[in-house]
Structures are given as C-alpha cells and as structure tokens.
Chains A and B, each alone.
Chain A
C-alpha cells in the first residue's frame, strides 16, 4: 500500500468517525469539538487532492473562526441534553433501513468503477503551478458574477440577522453622547418670570 493511500484511508475513517460522533455525542461541547475534528480530516483530504488553498481556508475560516464562535455560543447556552435527545431513536426503525439502503447505493456509485483513479485521472500540472493564484484569477474574471451573488447573499444574512434580533426597547436609559454635547443652556434651564411677592400688610404675619 502506498503511503498516500494509507493517509487517505486514515483521514477518511477519522472524518466518518468524527461525523458520527457529532450526532451521537451526549455533550454539545463534545459534539462541536468532534465537528472540528471532522473539518480537520476533510482539510487533510483536500490537501491530498492538491487543493492546498481550500484546505487552509477551511481550517482558518471554519475551525479558526466559525467553530470557535460556535463553541462559545454552545457553552453559553444551557442545553438540556436529555430533553433534546428524547425520541431521538424513535424513528430509527424507518430511518435506519432507508439510510443503509442509500449508503449501499452510494457505495456502488462512488466506488472505484466510476470515480476511481483510472476513470478520473488527475490533472498534470507544472511544478510552479499555484492554485491560489488560479483561484484568484477565476474568482475575479470568469466567476465574477457568482462571486458578486455570494456577497449579496451575505448582505441578506446581515439584514435578516438585524431584523430578527434587534429590538428597540423604550425603557433603556442609554446615553446619546452627541445629544448630550449639543445641549444648550435653554434646554436645561427654564427662566420663569414671576411677579415679585408683595409685602404682607403689617400686623398679619405675627
């Protein structure tokens, strides 16, 4: 067995194991950590496919940023695992066989016959080939339109997040510095004109 083949099977087996544990782990923090493990192994697989940039981006963006944030959220939330898991295996008698059948069909399709190394030979590339440079070139030329669309989708994400979470509360006593600085004396001090008080007639005050 070639060394790369060994590495491939190791990464693949670990990725599948980690993915199964994400679903079955009883502690949500463990589930998130297993997802991190799954991402690492998939990044390893991508490295084997010579997609170095994508592999590093996966680790930096998903593991480094998204999953760490996710971990914080999961730690903050008090998730009642027992309640979430109630009825988890209730539909297993139906879902299990269907899932097994799907896995079997996919194994037939994705096995060596159609997608093996003979059927899908890799591209021969020059030694100084940089796939980061190629990706960048494609993103800003041929794929400029989908690239822009992806940015619009992110914009929708921002708008939707603001809409769903921003609450204008009337009872919050927050300070608006600009308004504080712009205040004028007449806004705060009201000068009331009053008639001077008359002296009481003599003899009544005593």
Chain B
C-alpha cells in the first residue's frame, strides 16, 4: 500500500511553495526589524511576489501537468491568471502603503494576510480537486475577513467584517453542500474524474443538478452577482480603502478560476443547466448593479455596484460557451477567452479607480465621496486624465480596454444566439455610462472644494500613471491581451 505511493512532483507548485516560505520568513523578519525600518516589509512582499512571477514564468511550458495525486493542475490558464494575480497584488501593496501608514495600519500582519490570501487564490487557480478548491477559497476568505477588520477601532470596518464573515460562511456552506451532492452522484472529488463520470453516464442527473444549484449559488456569492450581492457595497464601503482595493481586484481572478474549474472543467456536461442559471445571474447583476450605482454619493459604493454589473458581463461570456447541445470548439474558445479578457480588464480598471481614491486621501481625509473629485483638473491635470481614462474605460467608451472587453463579450453572446440578452446588456451599459461620466464632469467642470495638494509617494504616482496608460494602450492594441487569453484558454481546455 505505502510502497505504491509516488512522491509528488513539486516543480509545478514551486511558486506556491516559494510564497509560503517567504511569508514565514516575513513573519520572522517582523520580529527582528524595529519600528524604524518599516519599509523592509512592503519591500519583501513585493520581492516575494516578483519572485513568484519569475518562477511561474520560467516553469511555464504550456503543458497540462497534474501533481499531488491529481489535486493540483498547472496549465497555461493557471500560469496566466497567476501572473495577473502577482501584478495586481504588487499594485495593491504599493497603492495602499501611504494610506495605511497615515492611519497607522501598516502592520506586519497586513502584509502576511495579503500574502496568505494570495496563496489561497493561487491554490484556487490551480485546483484540480474539490477539496483543494475549497481549502484555497477558505484560505483566501479568512485572510480577507481579518483584513477588513484591520482597523479594529472603527465600528464601520468591524461591522463590515462581521457581515462579510457571516455571509461568507453561509456561502461556503452552500458550496460545500453542493460539492457533497456531486460527490454523492459521481463518487469522486477529482474535477477530471467528475467530468468523466458524468460523460460516461454513471452519475444520477437529478442529484447532480440539485448539487449544481448550490455550487452556482456559492460561486455567485464569491463573485458578488445578484441576488447574492448584498455584502458587496457594505464591505467595500466599510473596509479601509486600501483593503477595498484588494477585495475588489485580485479575488475576481480567483473567482473566475473557481467558476471555470467547477462549471467548465467539472460539470461541462450539465452546461445547458448552468447556462440558464448564469443567464439569470448575469441579467440581474447588470440591471441591479447599474441602476443602484446611479443613486450613490460614495464613490466606493458606486464602484461596488459597478463591480456587480461588471461581474454580470463576465458571467454573460461564461454562459455563451456552448450553443444548444452541439459543441462548436471555436465559439466555446471565443466565449471563455472573452470572459478571461473581461476579468483581466476589470481588475486593471478596478485597481486604477480605487488607486485614485487612495491617491487623493490623506491622514484624516478619506476622499471616498464623488464630491471629493470635484475640480480635480485644477489640482492635478495629469491624474484627472488618468481618472477620466479609467471612467471612460469602465463605461465602455471606444478605444479603451473596457470597450473591447464589453465588445468581445457581446459578440460571444450574439454568436451563441442570446441576442435579446446582449441588447439588454447594451441598454444597461448606456445607463451605466451616466454615473461614470458624472465623475468626469465633476472633475472638469466644477470648482474644487478641497484645495489641499496631492501628497503621494513617487512609486505610487508612477504605477498609477502606468495603470492608466495600460488601459489606454491595451485599448489601442486590444489584440495583444486577447491573443494571450485565447492561447491560455486553448492550451488548457
């Protein structure tokens, strides 16, 4: 029995192992360094993530490799998502630093929990087994719950953390219940094994669909899709902005990976069932997200509702993968690549928008209301341009990355025959354009209410400028990222 066991190949999991070792080292480093050299911790965090990126890039070979008894998968999709993850977490650490320092929150635990959450997301991205997917999800979620409460003297943050924790635990329960049903029907927890069992018709369809409902509910909660979105605005609003920046960016990549692994890799044969559920979620998210965002005066809440509608668009692409019962490989590939492209574009825009809030905030001032952006053009013309590009991109104005993301999703939906849904999505994007353009109007045509100079460290200004430029540049050359997305999908499906 024991001698049949083969020691797993550790190389595919090298980035995860490196990250864990470095996180433990940072924990010890915090004991050694004093209160003076605080810059060491963020520097070490960024070095860790950059090291992970190097390892992921070097070991990337485009093959689908399974290890740890088929529990861990390393394919091109995972590598691509992980590289995007490192970039966004590095941006989170750099954007958030001055905000946290000003509020005395830049404790070592912040960097540790950010790294552990990143590890959880990497585990989710590379999961080939329900158990590892769930453990990755919990690792990520637990770190995020604690991060929301990092400012423990703020009753708003504590309330947001409690809400997030209770609802998150409920969603985990739903997901686990669904997983246990699928296990009951197929007798295995391996995602590949489940797909095979369903394909060979060994599994009871009724139990599978019953489990599927709970799994889709769990995914919808983690992505923040309507009607499982109640936590999103409250948590985004209550958490310190640097933490909101983190919650609103990187976990969406992991959520996308979770949806792909569970629905597309595991339950592909049930596509006609989950496509309907996703359609409902997508339509509701796009409608509720865009309508509720109009009424907001807080920019953080507005971006939360806009995030809900963006997740609706992403689900729209995911549900367009399969047409009827016949599988058209090109259409499927196109739809899933659009979903991936949309998530990557959304993460870039979300990082930039919350980065702008952080740029304008300083000790004792949060800059989280839309009013705070009044007359930004007079205070800093360049950052007004960056914010304008971000808002245009989110609204889907042509020749920014957000436009092409929406365009490719709509194209996939129309090709799959969901013309009505696509028209509906376009209508609500137009509604959405109103509240994005309102921010631009306030920046350019209103007099500033707050004339304080913008104080932000150089690294943040440079990265935020690059972030804005990337949105413009990828908008002019949309094919560059689309090619990457398509290749990653093609080599992994």
B65-73, B298-306, B413-421, B474-482: which lies at the interface: B65-73
**Alpha-carbon separation in the docked complex, A144 to B72 (Å):** 12
Known contacts A109-B206, A156-B146, A149 near B109 by CB under 8 Å: no
Does chain A have a CB within 8 A of B135?
Answer: yes
Contacts of B107 in A (CB 8 A): 163
B112-120, B229-237, B269-277: which lies at the interface: B112-120
Contacts of A150 in B (CB 8 A): 135
**Alpha-carbon separation in the docked complex, A156 to B139 (Å):** 8
Does chain B have a CB within 8 A of A142?
Answer: yes
Beyond A162-B109, A163-B107, 19 extra complex contacts between A and B, CB < 8 Å: A109-B206, A109-B207, A120-B184, A141-B5, A142-B71, A145-B13, A146-B129, A149-B135, A149-B139, A150-B135, A153-B135, A156-B113, A156-B142, A156-B146, A159-B27, A159-B146, A163-B109, A164-B149, A164-B152
Residue from A115, A120, A137, A160 in contact with B113 in the complex, judged by beta carbons closer than 8 Å: A160
Query: What mask results when residues 105 to 127 of chain B are scored 1 for a CB within 8 Å of chain A, else 0?
Result: 00101001100100100010000
**Alpha-carbon separation in the docked complex, A162 to B131 (Å):** 28
Residue from A149, A162, A164 in contact with B132 in the complex, judged by beta carbons closer than 8 Å: A149
How close is A122's CB to chain B, nearest CB, in angstroms? Answer: 13
How close is B139's CB to chain A, nearest CB, in angstroms? Answer: 5
Does chain B have a CB within 8 A of A155?
Answer: yes
Chain B at the A interface: mostly helix, strand, loop or mixed? helix
Interface set of B (CB-CB < 8 Å, partner A) = 1-2, 5, 8, 13, 20, 27, 68-69, 71-72, 107, 109, 112-113, 116, 119, 123, 129, 131-132, 135-136, 138-139, 142-143, 145-146, 149-150, 152, 181, 184, 204, 206-207, 210
**Alpha-carbon separation in the docked complex, A105 to B177 (Å):** 14
State whether B8 touches A155 (Cβ < 8 A): no
Does chain B have a CB within 8 A of A152?
Answer: yes
Number of residue pairs A-B, CB distance < 8 angstroms: 79
State whether B72 touches A145 (Cβ < 8 A): yes
- A sample of 19 inter-chain contacts (CB < 8 A) reads A105-B210, A109-B181, A137-B1, A142-B5, A142-B69, A143-B71, A143-B131, A145-B8, A145-B132, A146-B132, A149-B132, A156-B116, A156-B143, A159-B112, A159-B113, A159-B146, A160-B142, A160-B145, A163-B109
Residue of chain A at shortest CB distance from B142: A156
Known contacts A137-B2, A145-B72, A163-B109, A155 near B146 by CB under 8 Å: no
**Alpha-carbon separation in the docked complex, A58 to B2 (Å):** 27
State whether B116 touches A146 (Cβ < 8 A): no
Contacts of A114 in B (CB 8 A): 184, 204, 206-207
Contacts of B152 in A (CB 8 A): 164
Does chain B have a CB within 8 A of A112?
Answer: no
Known contacts A114-B204, A156-B113, A141 near B2 by CB under 8 Å: yes
How close is B406's CB to chain A, nearest CB, in angstroms? Answer: 35
Does chain B have a CB within 8 A of A95?
Answer: no
Within 8 A of B (CB), among A154-182: 155-157, 159-160, 162-164
Contacts of A120 in B (CB 8 A): 184
Residue of chain A at shortest CB distance from B112: A159
Query: What mask results when residues 129 to 154 of chain A are scored 1 for a CB within 8 Å of chain B, else 0?
Result: 00000000100011111100110110
Contacts of B206 in A (CB 8 A): 109, 114
How close is A196's CB to chain B, nearest CB, in angstroms? Answer: 45
**Alpha-carbon separation in the docked complex, A160 to B165 (Å):** 13
State whether B20 touches A152 (Cβ < 8 A): yes
How close is A162's CB to chain B, nearest CB, in angstroms? Answer: 7
How close is A135's CB to chain B, nearest CB, in angstroms? Answer: 13
How close is A44's CB to chain B, nearest CB, in angstroms? Answer: 20
Known contacts A109-B210, A160-B146, A163-B113, A152 near B139 by CB under 8 Å: yes
State whether A149 touches B136 (Cβ < 8 A): yes
Contacts of B184 in A (CB 8 A): 114-115, 120
Query: What mask results when residues 9 to 26 of chain A are scored 1 for a CB within 8 Å of chain B, else 0?
Result: 000000000000000000
State whether A160 touches B143 (Cβ < 8 A): yes
Residue from A144, A156, A162, A163 in contact with B68 in the complex, judged by beta carbons closer than 8 Å: A144
Residue of chain A at shortest CB distance from B2: A137
**Alpha-carbon separation in the docked complex, A3 to B116 (Å):** 50
**Alpha-carbon separation in the docked complex, A137 to B5 (Å):** 10
Residue of chain B at shortest CB distance from A165: B152
**Alpha-carbon separation in the docked complex, A141 to B210 (Å):** 32
Contacts of B135 in A (CB 8 A): 146, 149-150, 153
Contacts of B27 in A (CB 8 A): 159
Residue of chain A at shortest CB distance from B24: A155
How close is A184's CB to chain B, nearest CB, in angstroms? Answer: 22
How close is B284's CB to chain A, nearest CB, in angstroms? Answer: 18
**Alpha-carbon separation in the docked complex, A141 to B119 (Å):** 22
Contacts of A162 in B (CB 8 A): 109
**Alpha-carbon separation in the docked complex, A136 to B2 (Å):** 11
Residue of chain B at shortest CB distance from A115: B184
3 smallest CB-CB distances across A and B, nearest first, come from: A160-B146, A163-B109, A145-B68
**Alpha-carbon separation in the docked complex, A85 to B485 (Å):** 52
Contacts of B2 in A (CB 8 A): 137, 141
State whether A146 touches B113 (Cβ < 8 A): no
Among A115, A143, A145, A153, max chain B CB count under 10 A is at: A145
How close is A89's CB to chain B, nearest CB, in angstroms? Answer: 19
How close is A23's CB to chain B, nearest CB, in angstroms? Answer: 15
Contacts of B204 in A (CB 8 A): 114
**Alpha-carbon separation in the docked complex, A137 to B3 (Å):** 11
Residue of chain A at shortest CB distance from B152: A164
How close is B469's CB to chain A, nearest CB, in angstroms? Answer: 36
Residue of chain B at shortest CB distance from A105: B210
How close is A33's CB to chain B, nearest CB, in angstroms? Answer: 23
Contacts of A142 in B (CB 8 A): 5, 69, 71
Residue of chain A at shortest CB distance from B27: A159
Residue of chain A at shortest CB distance from B211: A109
**Alpha-carbon separation in the docked complex, A53 to B1 (Å):** 20
**Alpha-carbon separation in the docked complex, A125 to B116 (Å):** 41
Contacts of B146 in A (CB 8 A): 156, 159-160, 163-164
How close is A175's CB to chain B, nearest CB, in angstroms? Answer: 21
Contacts of A163 in B (CB 8 A): 107, 109, 113, 146, 150
Within 8 A of B (CB), among A45-83: none
Contacts of B181 in A (CB 8 A): 109
State whether A159 touches B139 (Cβ < 8 A): no
Contacts of A159 in B (CB 8 A): 27, 109, 112-113, 116, 146
